[in-house]
Copies of this chain bind each other. A is one copy, B any other.
């Protein structure tokens, strides 16, 4: 049933909403006939005037199929559960939007379950949502990697359709992720081309899967390009970024400290920051240390946000396809839900264009002017 009553349905005072049987009675046919007509069953043949009358009566009574009864019968709820940490970081909002939009296009409702980061739950915890028929599948966007010692976390979920969003799950074939290495390379290529030799990456805790992947990619790419890399992990907050920068500066100022193999090095001259929140802290720390951006330190945010263009130093960033990630995850999950054979599962890598948003926070390294 797709037609929509143009006018708020006039309601009978007694019952809450019209049912199939109410229409059937009014028209003088069986409920099964009404059901088939309203659902457009092509196998059903019905006289034109009855067909017409059924639709008209449904319209008049403001009929809306009861989603519960339908779902119960069809064994299909039409709902997706989205487990997500509700953080200030705008990436989650974009991800959520992309997912919601796509789900609604494909006729699914989305219920949001907040994953409290403090007390990280194993993903199998959320399986009850499918077991209780509250949802058809799980979109798992918790950010933490699963500790290797978590037993049964994988098997516990195998029976229900699920997809890991923006991270890799314990089993293969159910991940939907972006090309984090490409993002890192975008940054590295840009600053390397300008002549930077020593770079840093300030990012979240290693327990976050994307962080882990970015670090790996950065190490590999730096080795290939012969760049010297410092990686610092910190909380995904302004405070965290500030504190990590302090560490970076302290470390750079003590000669002889071991930074990734090359001894006696000084401060990195270009730095990528994993999240917008941290970026504020990094900029504040640099400002406090009287290190001008980009003259003393080039800066690239791995989160794109409009506000970066309006800061005292507009910050260059790499824009990740977050909405696409959300919608691709929904598509992947629905595919798993509707698949007859679930063996077709394969990881998804979002390959939408990822681009460097050029602003003013990147320049040549201090020596090279």
A interface residues, Cβ below 8 angstroms from B: 7-9, 11, 16-17, 62, 64-69, 71-72, 77, 79, 86-88, 90, 92-93, 96-97, 100-101, 104, 109-114, 124, 127-128, 131-134, 152, 155-156, 159, 237-239, 242, 276-277, 280-281, 283-284, 287, 305-307, 309-312
Decide if A283 touches B305 in the complex (CB within 8 Å). no
Contact present for A7 and B152 (CB under 8 Å): yes
Most chain B CB within 10 A, of A79, A87, A134, A312, is at: A134
Given the interface contacts A86-B100, A280-B310, does A133 sit within 8 Å of B66 by beta carbon?
yes
Q: Give every chain B residue within 8 A of A237 (Cβ-Cβ).
A: 306
Could you tell me if B112 and A112 are in contact, using CB atoms closer than 8 angstroms?
yes
- Pick the contact of A67: B64, B132, B281, B311 (CB < 8 A): B132
Contact A96–B86 (Cβ < 8 Å):
yes
Q: Given A124-B8, A155-B8, answer yes or no on A62-B238 (Cβ-Cβ < 8 Å).
A: no
Report whether A100 and B112 are in contact in the complex, using a CB–CB cutoff of 8 Å. yes
What are some 17 contacts across the A-B interface (CB < 8 A)? A8-B155, A11-B159, A16-B159, A64-B128, A67-B132, A67-B133, A86-B100, A88-B93, A88-B305, A101-B114, A104-B113, A111-B112, A237-B306, A238-B310, A277-B306, A281-B310, A312-B312
- 3 residue pairs, one from A and one from B, having the closest CB atoms: A8-B156, A280-B310, A284-B310
Closest to A313 in B: B312
A7 contacts across to B, CB distance below 8 A: 152
Q: Nearest-CB distance from A238 to chain B (Å)?
A: 5
Residues of B within 8 A of A110 (CB): 111-112
Q: B111 and A310: CB pair below 8 A? A: no
Q: Are A114 and B124 in contact (CB under 8 A)?
A: no
Chain B proximity of A317: nearest CB distance (Å): 14
Q: Are A77 and B86 touching (Cβ within 8 A)?
A: no
User: Closest chain B residue to A17 by CB distance?
Assistant: B131
Residues of B within 8 A of A87 (CB): 93
User: What is the bound-complex CA distance between A239 and B305, given in angstroms?
Assistant: 13
Please tell me if the beta carbons of A309 and B238 are within 8 angstroms of each other in the complex: yes
- A242–B132 contact, CB under 8 A? no
A277 to B309, CA, bound (A): 11
Q: How far is the CB of A278 from chain B (nearest CB, A)?
A: 10
Contacts of A104 in B (CB 8 A): 113-114
Whether the pair A114, B88 counts as a contact (CB closer than 8 A) is no
Most buried by B among A65, A88, A111, A156: A111
Alpha-carbon distance A139/B168, docked complex (angstroms): 34
CB A66 to nearest CB in B, in angstroms, measures: 5
Q: Are A86 and B79 in contact (CB under 8 A)?
A: no
Cα A111 to Cα B68 in complex, Å, equals 15
Cα-based distance from A307 to B305 in the complex (angstroms): 13
Please tell me which one of the listed residues B67, B86, B114 contacts residue A134 in the complex, with CB atoms under 8 A apart. B67
Shortest CB distance A198–B (Å): 25
Known: A93-B93, A109-B134, A112-B100. A306 touches B68 (CB 8 A): no
Contact B311 A311 (CB under 8 A): yes
Query: Which of A8, A9, A97, A113 is packed against the most chain B CB atoms within 10 Å?
Result: A8
Which B residues lie within 8 Å of A112 (CB)? 96, 100, 110-112
Q: Let me know if A114 and B86 touch, CB within 8 A.
A: no
Distance in Å from the Cβ of A76 to the closest Cβ of chain B? Answer: 10
